[in-house]
Amino acid sequence: MSSTPLLLPTSLKPAASLPEQGAYRVYMETFGCQMNEYDTELVRSIMKARGFHFTPIDEEADVILFNTCAIRENAHNRLYGHLAKYKARKKERGLVIGVLGCMAQNLKQELLDSRSWIDVLAGPDAYRKLPDLLTDALEHQHRGLAVDLSEYETYAQIVPDRAGGINGWIAVMRGCDNFCSFCVVPYTRGRERSRDPEGILEEAKRLVSQGVRQITLLGQNVNSYRSGSCDFAQLLVAVADVPGLQRVRFTSPHPKDFPPSLLEAVAQHPIICNQIHLPLQSANDRMLERMGRGYTRREYLKLVDAIQEKGPIVLTTDLICGFCGETDEEFQETYDLVKEMKYQAAFTFKYSERKHTIAARKYADDIPEEVKGFRTNEIIELQKEISLQKNQDLIGSQVEVMIEGNAKKSDQQWMGHTEHNVTVVWSKNDHPGLPGDLVSISIQDATPSTLYGTADS
Ligand code: SF4
């Protein structure tokens, strides 16, 4: 444990304090969403520019970093488990341990008080300070804290350090102003800020030159993107027009302000995938009102009708079970609507209260854990049946799939996704192909999550 005082804020020091040779080695793990994966690429870039090296082997690292997620309880528990593991190792050989991201931002005091072996905490807007914070911790045993939220930071000039592959993602904006009552993101990532379209297009072109064939544009609510006169639909089309790209996706649009122009872009542009993630959260109006979602069940369904009128656009969603005060009947409304909607996938979570949110201040978290668990499982099981049925309906048909890489279970098989984002696995013997190629696959078998087939020659 360091007995030196907390640095608030961190003083900036010259990079020259790092050793010329044998620079510090960093092992980094990422929890949570694609935005966090993207932030990890930014952190790698910022740190490599200051002479740090990254290693995939934690035993040989001088620095252990966790880029964390604060959205759900299980993400917290996973981090605490990992921290306990490295506490012992730190005692043996003086590791520096840093916690980054949303948990660092939201639970700074709790983490500092309860886990004295954490050396550095840095929130999502403070990554430029990391090299200095870590150098101070490594060389002077200073504990460092940088959790100021910024109104301007978009890391626009930082070129993310990617691991490679044909999939790339670009954060087009940061933060969120929506303040859904259950959500901690506005407190951990701050106010909405959009990047300028020129920088985003430059990044898209650079990704293509690195071999990327599919780009996903990221934002907490992409509908809020605005830079000058450019809105998200215009940006999406401009990215999709970048030569060399095969597919463009985006996540997430908010149902409360989904613009017709965005729907038009999805329906019209040949490489914007016909799949929209449209988080419902609950189908009951009282719950939606308590959640502060800004739409009613009727308005959501009206939007769904408008989407379906445009053609075969597949929908996926997010759901919360057991939100404050949710009755059996209110839950049943959600269950029944999921049955009716037949989403391709529904990411279903048990409500867990997050510190500092509106719901934590305003409503009692009064649904017993076993009831929350029961409701969550009910929907998960229902959705499994729906996904299985939808996938089985594809048996005997041909789907276009982009080769993304080796299948998880065998390097003799390829894995890719359909335009609707369903995973497909097939034997490499069927067709030579290369990652990034679009191939036609005849579907022969299906599970709720995966299609299996053979490549048509
Ligand atoms: S739109 Fe709502 S759920 Fe999404 S990040 Fe913003 S506050 Fe959270």
**Over the stretch 56-66, which tens digit does the pLDDT of each residue have?**
999 999 999 99
CATH at residue 33: 3.40.50.12160
Domain shared by 255 and 326, yes or no: no
Let me know if residue 431 belongs to a domain. Answer: yes
Q: Do residues 288 and 281 make contact, with C-beta atoms less than 8 angstroms apart?
A: yes
Cα(111) to ligand 1 centroid in Å equals 24
Tell me which residue has its CA closest to atom 4 in ligand 1.
220
Let me know if residue 153 belongs to a domain. Answer: no
Let me know if residue 198 belongs to a domain. Answer: yes
**DSSP string computed for 61-92:** -SEEEEEE--SSHHHHHHHHHHHHHHHHHHHH
Cα(180) to ligand 1 centroid in Å equals 6
pTM of the model: 0.90
Who lines ligand 1 at CB under 6 A? 176, 178-180, 183, 185-186, 220-221, 254
- Which parts of the chain have pLDDT scores under 70? 1-22
Which pLDDT score, from 0 to 100, does residue 46 have? 97
Domain shared by 328 and 284, yes or no: yes
Question: Domain range spanning residue 212?
Answer: 164-273
The ligand 1 atom at the shortest distance from the C-alpha of residue 189 is 5
Let me know if residue 152 belongs to a domain. Answer: no
Within 327-367, strands assigned E span 345-350
Within 359-408, strands assigned E span 398-406
Cα(439) to ligand 1 centroid in Å equals 36
Residue whose C-alpha is closest to residue 121's, from 78, 67, 60: 67
Domain shared by 230 and 296, yes or no: no
Which pLDDT score, from 0 to 100, does residue 110 have? 86
Let me know if residue 308 belongs to a domain. Answer: yes
Separation of alpha carbons 170 and 160, rounded Å: 9
Which pLDDT score, from 0 to 100, does residue 7 have? 33
Q: Do residues 448 and 387 make contact, with C-beta atoms less than 8 angstroms apart?
A: yes
Cα(414) to ligand 1 centroid in Å equals 35
Torsion over CA of 264, 265, 266 and 268, rounded to 10 degrees?
80
The three-point CA angle 358-366-346 to 5° equals: 75
Pocket probe for ligand 1: among 69, 182, 183, 188, the residue whose CB has the most ligand atoms within 8 Å is 183
Q: Do residues 53 and 26 make contact, with C-beta atoms less than 8 angstroms apart?
A: yes
**Domains held by the chain: number:** 4
Cα(221) to ligand 1 centroid in Å equals 7
Cα(323) to ligand 1 centroid in Å equals 15
Domain shared by 384 and 402, yes or no: no
Tell me which residue has its CA closest to atom 8 in ligand 1.
183
The ligand 1 atom at the shortest distance from the C-alpha of residue 292 is 2
Tell me which residue has its CA closest to atom 5 in ligand 1.
220
Domain shared by 359 and 447, yes or no: no
- Spell out the alpha helix ranges (H) of 122-246: 130-140, 185-188, 197-209, 232-240
